[in-house]
């Protein structure tokens, strides 16, 4: 009964995970074409939902067109875009680029203060001639190029003017995904073998260092029978070991799955790894 309940609960979780992430993002105040353009632009980046989910926990992300005196502004999930910017493919910033730039600022604030200080230390220069030389603007523009196909942009000037790009852009994106939000996980143990039912086995995995959030360790019988996970808190280590009990039916094609979410009490499992090979369970 306990096991069936575990399967049922996990099936519901899987439905939530795979059934689609709720779009908390809203776009208002522009004309229909501008609003669609901005929404399509942001959601064209495969990991846009991570930013949305983080801000959706308190309030969600809203993009609002307003007649303001500057191109755009981002603050705590709210993005404002100057409605006078226009949407022509001219050599000036348009609403599309401004919205995505501001969206990148929202991503920036998801980092811990410690991480942001590291970036400030790496990028101390301020050049009053180029607004994008300030550390936060540099980061946002690198992220904008890395998140979205640079060839899709009308203004290519950032590619040639920003120091170190496009490497900087690639590093910015990799850091953002790995450092706090979507670490890379690799399972080394168990490997394919045969184990005894109800016995304990070790699960070993490595991860990009993450100091917060949970790992979950599932047993899955291929293709799609899952058993309730064991949770292990992230500690900042790059390797982990835990013990799980093989409280599953006798059978073959078992694997261990490890997932990660950056918060201890909520959020979608974002990073996944599958153990190498498949193992059997004997009586």
Which of 105/182 has CB closer to Zn ion? 105
Which of 107/234 has CB closer to Zn ion? 107
Q: How would you classify the pairing of strands 251-261 and 78-82?
A: unpaired
Nearest distance from C-beta of residue 92 to Zn ion, angstroms: 15
- Binding mask 152-191 toward Zn ion (x if CB under 5 A, else -) reads ----------------------------------------
Which of 163/249 has CB closer to Zn ion? 163
194: β partners: 280
Query: CB-based contacts of 67: which residues, under 8 Å, 6+ apart?
Result: 82, 83, 84
Alpha-carbon torsion angle 50, 52, 56, 57, nearest 10: 20
Nearest distance from C-beta of residue 273 to Zn ion, angstroms: 35
Query: How far from the centroid of its chain's Cα atoms is residue 179's Cα?
Result: 10
Task: Please give the structure tokens belonging to residue 11.
Answer: 């099936």
Q: How would you classify the pairing of strands 251-261 and 279-282?
A: antiparallel
Q: How far is Cα 243 from Cα 246, in angstroms, rounded to an integer?
A: 10
Which of 13/73 has CB closer to Zn ion? 73
Task: Please give the structure tokens belonging to residue 173.
Answer: 């994106």
Site for Zn ion in 128-157 (CB under 5 A): 137, 140
Phi (first) and psi of residue 243, to 5 degrees = -115, 135
Nearest distance from C-beta of residue 141 to Zn ion, angstroms: 8
Q: How many CB atoms lie within 10 A of CB 156?
A: 12
Nearest distance from C-beta of residue 58 to Zn ion, angstroms: 22
Count the site residues for Zn ion by CB under 5 A.
2
Which of 99/248 has CB closer to Zn ion? 99
Query: How far from the centroid of its chain's Cα atoms is residue 36's Cα?
Result: 23
Nearest distance from C-beta of residue 46 to Zn ion, angstroms: 23
Nearest distance from C-beta of residue 132 to Zn ion, angstroms: 8
Which of 98/187 has CB closer to Zn ion? 98
Residues that bind Zn ion (CB under 5 A): 137, 140
């Amino acid at each position: 009964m306990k096991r069936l309940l575990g399967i049922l609960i996990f099936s519901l979780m899987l439905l939530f995970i795979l059934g689609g992430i709720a779009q908390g993002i809203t776009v208002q105040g522009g004309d229909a074409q501008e609003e669609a353009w901005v929404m399509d632009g942001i959601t064209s980046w495969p990991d846009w939902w991570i930013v949305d989910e983080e801000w959706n926990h308190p309030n969600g992300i809203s993009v609002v067109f307003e007649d303001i005196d500057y191109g755009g502004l981002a603050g705590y999930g709210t993005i404002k875009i100057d409605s006078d910017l226009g949407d022509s493919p001219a050599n000036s910033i348009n609403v599309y680029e401004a919205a995505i730039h501001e969206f990148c600022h929202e991503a920036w604030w998801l980092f811990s203060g410690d991480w942001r200080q590291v970036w400030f230390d790496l990028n101390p220069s301020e050049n009053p001639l180029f607004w994008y030389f300030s550390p936060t603007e540099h980061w946002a523009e690198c992220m904008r190029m890395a998140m979205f196909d640079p060839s899709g942009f009308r203004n290519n000037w950032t590619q040639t003017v920003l120091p170190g790009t496009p490497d900087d852009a690639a590093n910015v994106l990799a850091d953002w995904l790995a450092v706090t939000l979507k670490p890379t996980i690799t399972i080394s143990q168990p490997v394919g073998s045969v184990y005894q039912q109800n016995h304990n086995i070790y699960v070993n995995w490595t991860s990009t260092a993450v100091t917060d959030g949970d790992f979950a360790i599932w047993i899955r019988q291929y293709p799609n029978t899952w058993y309730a996970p064991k949770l292990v808190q992230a500690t900042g280590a790059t390797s982990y070991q835990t013990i799980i009990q093989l409280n599953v039916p006798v059978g073959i094609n078992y694997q261990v799955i490890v997932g990660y979410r950056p918060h201890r009490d909520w959020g979608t499992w974002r990073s996944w790894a599958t153990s190498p090979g498949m193992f059997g369970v004997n009586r």
